[in-house]
Amino acid sequence: MRAVVQRVRRARVDVAGETVGEMADGLLALVGVERGDGPSDALQLAAKLVHLRIFEDAAGRMNLSLLETGGSLGVVSQFTLLGDARKGRRPAFGEAARPEQAEPLLETLVAEARDLGAPVVTGRFQARMDVELVNEGPVTILLDTHKAF
């Protein structure tokens, strides 16, 4: 699984003009599921997200996790994170998991993050979404359970 994680002041996800997810301070994770990913990838990514120390402590150092700050986690499915644009001008998405594989793994990630104590909001799987956010810092981190980078 691959994620682009942004520390946010606020975020909102709209589908067809309806707000389906909204949050204040926390992390927004755009998540792509890769062919071959399994439940262990979802559990690993959930743990990484809620324990990632990218919030500032009293000394101004990035030393606190989402759980320690009481922030929320936003999870938005984004298969385009698996796009391969190394050849030509149109990305290939052959490494992205099929929807029937991806959706249960995203649900596992969300359930695990909630079990670990994080309030979680989500987008809507396979919907055209408008994602609005205020990136605080800015802080943006790339994660990959296969350690591709």
Instruction: Catalytic residue, from 44, 55, 69, 80: name it.
Output: 80
**How many angstroms separate the Cα of 32 from the Cα of each of 17, 56, 67, 136?**
24, 27, 23, 22
Q: Is 6 an active-site residue?
A: no
Domain ranges of the chain: 2-143
Q: Is 75 helix (H, G, I), strand (E, B) or coil?
A: strand
Instruction: Catalytic residue, from 6, 55, 79, 145: name it.
Output: 79
2-143 CATH pick, 3.90.1150.10, 2.20.25.90, 3.30.499.10, 3.50.80.10 = 3.50.80.10
Instruction: Catalytic residue, from 6, 55, 78, 145: name it.
Output: 78
Q: Is 139 helix (H, G, I), strand (E, B) or coil?
A: strand
Strands 129-144 and 2-15: antiparallel
pLDDT in tens, the chain (149 residues): 999 999 999 999 999 999 999 999 999 999 999 999 999 999 999 999 999 999 999 999 999 999 999 999 999 999 999 999 999 999 999 999 999 999 999 999 999 999 999 999 999 999 999 999 999 999 999 999 999 87
Strands 18-23 and 62-64: unpaired
Q: Is 93 an active-site residue?
A: no
Q: Is 80 an active-site residue?
A: yes
What gap in Å lies between CA 64 and CA 73, rounded to an integer?
A: 14
